[in-house]
Each structure stands twice: as C-alpha cells, then as structure tokens.
Amino acid sequence: MHTARTGIACLLCQTLTKERVYLVFSHQSPDPQRVVANGRWCPTGCRLTNSERWKEAMLPLHGVDA
C-alpha cells in the first residue's frame, strides 16, 4: 500500500517535504511491519526549480527503510 507522509525539512527552503512510502503488512498483524520510503518532494517546487542543488543537498531514498 502506498501513502504519503511528512518528511524532513528541505535543505534549500526549510519547508517540510512530503515522502511517498510503501507500507508492508503481515497477515498476522493489522499494523505495518515495515515502511519503505521511495520518493520525496518539496511542496514549494525546489526539486523542479533547483534540480542540481536539490540532488546535492537532499539524501537519496533508493530502497531506504524509514
């Protein structure tokens, strides 16, 4: 199941970023067993307007458990 949550502050403008996360559930528990972040964006558009600075400043999320 995919959902979005509030992430860390953007290092370019200090606005809280949004993260797309994948929730991994188990048949034995109603709560998610693992949360994997697989996307991050800034609501103010820093990633689009300053793409090179965004790549340098923000940590990659490739397969990182949150």
Tell me: the pLDDT tens digits for 52-62?
888 888 877 65
Q: Which residue has the tokens 């693992």?
A: 34
Reading the block at residue 6, the tokens are: 């509030």
* Residue 50, CA distances (Å) to 8, 24, 35, 55 in order: 18, 33, 28, 9
Q: What is the dihedral of CA 11, 21, 31, 33, to 10 degrees?
A: -90
**What is the tens place of the pLDDT at every residue in 28-53?**
878 877 888 888 889 998 888 888 88
pTM strictly above 0.85:
no
